[in-house]
Amino acid sequence: MIKIAIFGCCNQINNAKHIKQLFNLLKEKNANILIEKEFCDYLYNKFQLDIIENVIVDKNFEADFALSIGGDGTFLRAARFVADKNIPMIGINSGRLGFLADISLDGIAGALEKLWNKDYYIEERSLLEMHINGFENKYIKYGLNEIAILKQYNSSMITIHIDIDSNYLNTYEADGLIISTPTGSTAYSLSVGGPIIEPTSRNVVISPVAPHSLTTRPLVISDKYLLRIKVESRSESFQVSIDGNSYTLKPENTILVKKAPYKINVVKLNGHTFYDTLRDKLMWGVDKRF
């Protein structure tokens, strides 16, 4: 019996048909279902789905797969639950773009069939690990997409000093700086002009946000390095965000960023590649005349 831990976005009101189809198919396949408590309550209140065997209330659980229903944000939240458990993750996209959650709602039946028939492969995705002096154990330390150092909303640009290992790289005068994994290269980093990196690459992307100097450009480096970051701000504070979870820091806080000691395993169905996703999501090769 396959045990599946399910995480979902509590905004599925237009997807009732597909949600019910998913749970009916899992029931037909005799799957052992675990479900995130918040999502469980939502399904019961909105769709009267009372199909729960076990409810996930914390990170102490085991499963053969973790299934995310929502957008990439839901996938990232589910990844924090999976953490270092080595549980393969699969994402069903009921959100907008969906690079991580790349299975469509209409493709649920086919995806489950391939999952049960072991017609898939696993991609290992690297994470970033963040440490902040004077701020220990008060924040999420691991990010699958990116770590962003940003100015406060109403303040002027910030000054960001960054060293790679013991070597000085640059001082950025900018609205912020994004340190991205290959997975996150199609997220925030892409929106500020960063390059797209193949997701299993062993790289990190450093992308400035609205830099004061036009010669400052994104940089791709190996993920073997330790990054040390110090920030100066006229407002005496700035923000750090890790996969969308934001914290306010002071200039005396030093940020250390390195590759995490474990990876997230992402399920990819045979017959579909990262390059297919790029063409589907970014409309590469589409002739606008037709």
- Please list the active-site residues: 72
* Contact by Cβ (8 Å): 4, 67: yes
Closest to 278 measured CA to CA, from 198, 204, 178, 181: 198
**Residues constituting the chain:** 290
Q: How far apart are CA 161 and CA 79, in angstroms?
A: 30
**Strand (E) positions, the chain?**
3-8, 32-36, 54-56, 65-70, 89-93, 103-104, 120-132, 142-143, 146-150, 158-164, 167-174, 176-180, 203-209, 219-222, 227-232, 238-242, 245-249, 255-269
